[in-house]
Amino acid sequence: MSAAATVSKGTKVAKQNPKRKGSPFERSERRAAWILLIPTLILVAAIAVYPAIRTVWLSLHEMVLTDPTSGYPFIGLKNYSTILHDERALKALIFTAKFTVVTVVLELALGLVAALAMNRAFIGRGVVRAAILVPWAIPTAISAMMWKFIYNDQYGLFNDVLSKLGIIDEYKAWLSTESGSFMALVIADVWKTAPFMALLILAGLQMIDTELYESAKVDGTSAWQRLVYITLPLIKSTVLVALLFRTLDAFRVFDLISVMTDGANGTESMSLYAYRSMMKFLDFGYGSALAVIVFIVVMGIGLGYAKLIGTTDEEK
Amino acid sequence: MFKKLAGNTAFYVFIAVFVVISLLPFVWQGLTSIKTVAEISSIPAQWIPREPHLDFYVNVFTKHPFLRYMFNSLVVAAVTTVLSLLIGASAGYSLGRLRFRGRGPLLIVILGVSMFPPIANLSPLYLFLKNVGLLNTYAGLVIPYITFSLPMAVWLMANFFKQLPKEFEEAAAIDGCGRIETYFRIMLPLVTPGLFSTGLLVFINSWNEYIYALTFMTKKEMMTVPVGISMLPSNYELPWGDMSAATIVVTLPLIALVLIFQRRIISGLTTGGVKG
């Protein structure tokens, strides 16, 4: 059941009880529900929602911490109009979008193939599942460090393996060119998260009733037809939810880039630029404005997927 | 028969490649950590160390404060996990099982908050922690961690509670057990496996967090593991040996956790993502 389906269910419940009060039984249920919720609601409002609103408020101010004499005046949307003319921000936005699309597409393709392969009983399946959880569990900052070493121009494993396989003639400094850095970041990200995708999709595959395949086989369908007409439609909402998580994560990318390239060679993401504006240049107003843009894009992506997931559920 | 054999071989080759690629970077670190400096910098690469030694592992604890980093990470991740479960489980029960007006929208809000990009809260949290003097304290990192771990715990617990059969509460109500009492005495013990899965995910997430730790813990003795590792390279040297050994030391506990609790972790991941 998706989040959207939960909403429609919630409103149905509300319609069944048009009167606010209901039976004593329902009233006690309502009261208990709120009592159990209150601590969470207060905390979430105080330390997550309020700061987010405050970021928006800060973004409307001129606030450079090294210049407290300015009095941090309210300047309206000036930070945002500066962003429009800031080539660095535009470059970061384009890079982040490109990184998001490329990694998510690759992760989906690889995750889907791996999940389809693992969706059968075979010797060592438990071991395989555990093995592919390892990249997911290692902190991104640490895997970024590992990959940085692997891409090293002289001692790295990447050059060694590629030259032994005859793919490259001479060692390359992967992290010193724009295309090399982009590819290196994409590989490191896909390595870490494709397994996560595979596990989520695998769980979706395992919920499909095997009888569907049996009867389709009796009808003389090909394996390809069964994949396209049975498997894919049935895992569509699972895949969409997994894609949602991955897209949001990819767009706010920070750890991987900060550790591996530190934004060099055109690999500065929006989060990294916002972070630097605040913590390096101490420009909290401008940095907050950049952060708000990340926030708006992330929420937009979320709403877009929610709509897609909603329509998928209605088709069922 | 031949076709089936060929298909099977292809299948196992594919699976083997998948596993090797998943583990190779980590294995490479392990090999590097016991090589000599000369072997690390040999071209072409020397895969198998000829004179394995543990000097880099000694460095991890003597030249760098990794024991301290691990202790810091453990304290912050454990406190975050316990608090998120204590507070979030009851909200998860409420949102997962009780009927009241506004339940659907609230679930969406919780899910939405769990997806906030951390950068969106960075500036106000930094100013707040600075003003109240909580930078470089455990509390100063636990509070920001609650911002993402509490909504995550609520969302996962709501889904775990939904999976329990309905009869338990009916039976409890017939016995005259109050709602809140039912939650604490009957439902919470029943959902223990879900609590455990949720706890593991929250713990791993907090242990791995980077941007808040980097921003709010600037003193060396307060740094967490991911930040500590990322600070190892200096302008003058890249201590690959120390870095590899440190990587192994700090990831082995995580890998052990993953291997032991594989099922619980996967159940947590798929409950939030698939049946959600």
ipTM (interface predicted TM): 0.91
**Does the beta-carbon distance from A52 to B121 stay under 8 Å?**
yes
Interface test with B, best of A2, A6, A136, A256 (most B CBs within 10 A): A6
**Least CA distance to A192: which residue of chain B?**
B22
Query: Which residues of chain A lie closer than 8 angstroms to B36, CB-CB?
Result: none
Note whether A249 and A238 are within 8 A (CB): no
In tens, the pLDDT along A159-196 reads 989 988 988 888 889 999 999 999 999 999 999 999 88
pLDDT at A8 over 60: no
Interface test with A, best of B14, B100, B188, B271 (most A CBs within 10 A): B100
Give me the amino acid identity at A246: R
Residue in the structure block whose two tokens are 């159940």: B267
**Calculated CA dihedral for residues A225, A226, A230, A236, nearest 10 degrees:** -80
Query: Which residues of chain B lie closer than 8 angstroms to A126, CB-CB?
Result: 262
Interface test with B, best of A120, A149, A286 (most B CBs within 10 A): A149
Peptide bond between residue A51 and the one before it cis (omega within 30 degrees of 0): no
The whole-angstrom separation of Cα B79 and Cα B197 is 16
Note whether A195 and A132 are within 8 A (CB): yes
The whole-angstrom separation of Cα B156 and Cα A248 is 18
Query: pLDDT-derived band of residue A9, with 50, 70 and 90 as boundaries?
Result: very low
3-state secondary structure of A219: coil
Note whether B255 and A134 are within 8 A (CB): yes
Give me the amino acid identity at B73: S
The region of weakest confidence among A211-220, B65-74, B119-128 is: A211-220
Query: pLDDT-derived band of residue B39, with 50, 70 and 90 as boundaries?
Result: confident
Among the partner residues B111, B210, B259, nearest to A139 by beta-carbon distance: B210
Nearest alpha-carbon partner for A142 in B184, B204, B163, B83: B204
Ranges of each domain in chain B? 2-53, 65-229+252-273
pTM above 0.95, yes or no: no
The whole-angstrom separation of Cα B242 and Cα B33 is 7
Query: Which residues of chain A lie closer than 8 angstroms to B49, CB-CB?
Result: none
pLDDT at B168 over 90: no
The whole-angstrom separation of Cα A297 and Cα A92 is 13
Give me the amino acid identity at A77: L
Report the CATH fold assignment for A88-315.
MetI-like fold (1.10.3720)
**Does the beta-carbon distance from B28 to A150 stay under 8 Å?**
yes
Helices (H), chain B: 2-33, 37-40, 55-62, 66-97, 103-114, 119-131, 139-162, 167-174, 179-182, 188-190, 192-208, 211-216, 225-230, 240-260, 262-273
**Does the beta-carbon distance from B25 to A279 stay under 8 Å?**
no
Neighbours of B53 (CB within 10 A): 13
Note whether B197 and B271 are within 8 A (CB): yes
**Does the beta-carbon distance from A291 to B117 stay under 8 Å?**
yes
Interface test with B, best of A142, A158, A165, A169 (most B CBs within 10 A): A142
**Least CA distance to B245: which residue of chain A?**
A146
Q: Over B33-96, what HEC string results?
A: HCCCHHHHCCCCCCCCCCCCCCHHHHHHHHCCCHHHHHHHHHHHHHHHHHHHHHHHHHHHHHHH
**Does the beta-carbon distance from A139 to B257 stay under 8 Å?**
no
Q: Which residues contact A31 (CB under 8 A, 6 or more apart)?
A: B179
In CATH, what number does B65-229+252-273 get?
1.10.3720.10
**Does the beta-carbon distance from A51 to B121 stay under 8 Å?**
yes
The region of weakest confidence among A103-107, A161-165, B122-126 is: A161-165
**Does the beta-carbon distance from B179 to A32 stay under 8 Å?**
yes
- In angstroms, the Cα distances linking A112 to A107, A109, A115, A166, A201 are 8, 5, 5, 29, 7
Across residues A57-83, what is the average pLDDT? 92
**Least CA distance to B265: which residue of chain A?**
A133
Which range, B13-22, B75-84, B241-250, is most confident? B75-84
